[in-house]
Amino acid sequence: MSQTVSREVIVANEQGLHARPADLVAREARRWQSRIEVVGKAQRVDGKSILDLLTLAAEAGTRLVLEATGPDASEALDALGSLFEQNFTLAGDSTTHTENETVVKRTTPANEVPGEPAGERGGGR
Amino acid sequence: MKFSDFVAVEAIRPNVAATTKEGVIREMSQSLVDAGKITAGELESIVKAIMKREDLGSTGIGRGVAVPHTKHPSVSRLVGTVAISQAGIDFESLDGEPVQLLFLLVSPPDRPGDHLRALENISRQLRDDAFCKTLKEAGGPQDVWRLLEEADAQSIAS
């Protein structure tokens, strides 16, 4: 029942995959049973580890391949893929770090508790 | 980006007195003022910006490590420093563990790549348990500096 699926994503965020997006990706990845790996130009890292993700130093425009292996691999990649597509929901990612409130309002697969890690306090305005 | 490219040796604090998140951020920022890397007039603004960033999500990234940081227009290049807390500081870190190793970064707003590469270097080194352990046991600023230089030399070699 274990399957490996992969998907290419692009880091659209102009600041690159810095600490906050890396945290968001690792949090999302940890919600899934599957092993999640992120493959960059020179290395393959654990998608559930913020430290690992930061070692990618993925700048804006970087292509990465997400790979998931496990029972919920497809769903995991859908969720992670949309996180990248939605630019980590860090609207603008401006120098002041003002965030929008829409921390993950995408549709999530039904097999997970809908409550996101609500630890992200939005709106530091 | 190597440690020696952004860490101000005069600002290294191997045994911080502060016991709180804001306290240690202030102490580290002050150390950058003392080292002449940021101006005294910008201290409050920088501490406030770093705390605001912490409000969005702790930079305590696990394994007893935190990387408090901000972009700030008053610096023209990335500056940073290292502090070690022997007691451990509650940083609301992602894994809930108290923080002992801190890397504080202040970067110019228009250089996101430098910031990323500093984070890359810090996280790469900190995955090494032996490095974390020896860093925590470092006696003085020069010991810390030597460890950082060794880490730099190894990352070039590998």
Ordered by start, the domain boundaries in chain A are: 3-87
Of B116, B122, B127, the CB nearest to A16: B116
Answer whether residue A114 shows pLDDT above 60: no
The confidence score (pLDDT) of residue B158 equals 55
What digits encode the pLDDT tens for the residues A36-95? 999 998 899 999 999 999 999 999 999 999 999 999 999 999 999 999 999 887 544 443
State the complex-level ipTM.
Answer: 0.85
The confidence score (pLDDT) of residue B155 equals 78
The confidence score (pLDDT) of residue A90 equals 54
What digits encode the pLDDT tens for the residues A100-111? 333 333 444 444
> How far is A49 from A34, CA to CA, in rounded Å?
14
Chain A residues lying within 8 Å of B119, measured CB to CB: 18-19, 54, 57
> How far is B9 from A99, CA to CA, in rounded Å?
34
Catalytic machinery residues of B: 69
What digits encode the pLDDT tens for the residues B112-134? 999 999 999 999 999 899 999 99
Of A51, A97, A119, the CB nearest to B52: A97
Domains of chain B: 3-157 (3.40.930.10)
Q: Percent of chain B beyond pLDDT 90?
A: 92
Shortest distance, CA B116 to any CA of chain A (angstroms) = 5
Contact between A58 and B116 using a beta-carbon 8 Å cutoff: yes
The confidence score (pLDDT) of residue B59 equals 96
- Ranges of H-type helices in chain A: 19-30, 50-54, 73-85
Identify the contact set of chain A against chain B, taking CB-CB distances under 8 A: 14-20, 23, 50-52, 54-60, 95-97, 99, 119-121, 124
CA atoms within 13 A on the CB side of B102: 39
- Does CATH place domain A3-87 in 3.30.360.10? no
Q: Which of B10, B4, B72, B3 is nearest to B35 (CA)?
A: B10
The pLDDT-based confidence of A3 (bands split at 50, 70, 90) is: confident
Contact B127, A51 (CB under 8 A): yes
Of A17, A19, A124, the CB nearest to B55: A124
For tokens 């997006």, name the residue.
A21
Looking at every residue in chain A, the average pLDDT score rounds to 79
Structure tokens at B9: 């040796």
> How far is A45 from B95, CA to CA, in rounded Å?
19
Counting as low any pLDDT under 50, the low residues of chain B are: none
Shortest distance, CA B78 to any CA of chain A (angstroms) = 15
The confidence score (pLDDT) of residue A122 equals 42
The pLDDT-based confidence of A97 (bands split at 50, 70, 90) is: very low
